[in-house]
Amino acid sequence: MAKLLAMLIIIPLYSFSVVTLNLSMNCDEMSLRTFNEIRNTILRLLPKQVVLAESGPCDFEMEFRLRYDPEKEIYVGEWLEGSEVVARYTYDPKGYKYYRDFVMECASYPLEKVSFHLFAKGEFEDFIRLTYHPALEEYCDFSKDYLVFVSDRIGGNRDIFLLDRKSGELLTITVRGSSEYFPRVSPDGKQLLFQGSIHGNWNVYLIPFSPGSPSSVRRISAGPFAAYNPNWFDANRVVYVQENQRSNHIVLKDLKTMKEQVYDLPFDWVFTPVRYKNGLIFVGFKDADSGIYFLSLEDGKIETIENSPYNEFDPDVFEDYLVFSSNRDGIFRIYAKDLRDGKTWCLTKDIPYDAFYPAFSEDGTLVAFSVYERDREPDVWVVRFFTPEA
């Protein structure tokens, strides 16, 4: 057996407490090349606050075993904590899985273990990458207890995942027969709105907000056309986009009476409505131009919020602050805007990849988003929200 022990010490750059990690890693001779790629990936991507130690007391201790099974002709990677196998990944060179995805699967377990811990403890400076799995991970939202996002890391189906903001534990909500998009936690934290495919077409659904399989699933949208981009307007009303025979429109629906208010707007398409005061901020798309607009529900007037030549998408609002995605320097970055004075600034200037779908935390201190590294599926990151110095 070829055996390597991680013995690298990384000196933290910030004034946060360090996390100590003991990794015992071993492989057989047939797996040595792959083993080295997995190990080097872990070392390259570990957060700066992490100290890898060979022995002694540590926050996390885990063992990795990689072997080649000649009978099945597959590689098998396993992570163990104590004597328990906590993660297992396989790779068949003749199968459909990419080799690079197998390497990243194996590397993702310790990386996410420490990143979830750092996030839960608030031990990060400006921003932190949370997910490393090669699966698709996007569409975030927050409650006071959880960071919510969608991932297809289990069997390739999009499910809702909950990252516990106190323990760092990753949990799931499994809605049978559906792929989920745009989960949105209710103002009281008890219900979850999402875009799903239970009935074969995109519709908007409501479930109790709790890990596991929901005790009930309520369909909110109606009609033969797709409905998507759900959000909460208040505790009793939801807003979403409904397609029609020509394009689409915004629907504001009362959950008690199920009565609808429909807003047909002068755009080719509209997307992602979110409440701002007594109105809606949304994306309007017309003549190949995408901008962000405000619709007053009092008088029906439409005001331009952002409409540069560089396309604006994915608005979210906390109090008088807007966050959105735009490619005004050639990369889609997350920008913020003060809706009172019009000042705009970038939240992700130090991340060299496209970023989309920003979502404020419930208290406005954090913004979660998805980063699309080149030729990779998106991962979830979090940045501390800030305003520019005067």
pLDDT of 57 reads 83
Structure tokens at 14: 């910030």
* pLDDT single digits (tens) 242-284: 999 899 999 999 999 999 999 999 999 999 999 999 999 999 9
Burial degree of 321 (CB within 10 A; 0-12, 13-18, 19+): middle
Contact 342, 100 (CB under 8 A): no
pLDDT of 349 reads 94
pLDDT of 53 reads 83
pLDDT band at 16 (very low <50, low <70, confident <90, very high): confident
Which structural domains are found in the chain, ordered by start?
Answer: 2-120 (no CATH), 127-384 (2.120.10.30)
pLDDT of 147 reads 98
Please tell me the least confidently modeled range out of 17-21, 30-34, 77-81: 17-21
Burial degree of 16 (CB within 10 A; 0-12, 13-18, 19+): middle
Cα atoms in the Cβ-side hemisphere of radius 13 Å centred on 357: 22
| Mean pLDDT for the stretch of residues 229-235 | 98
| Mean pLDDT for the stretch of residues 147-169 | 96
* pLDDT single digits (tens) 159-191: 999 999 999 999 999 998 899 999 999 999 999
pLDDT of 163 reads 98
- Helix, strand, coil percentages (3-state) for the chain, rounded to 5, are 10, 45, 45
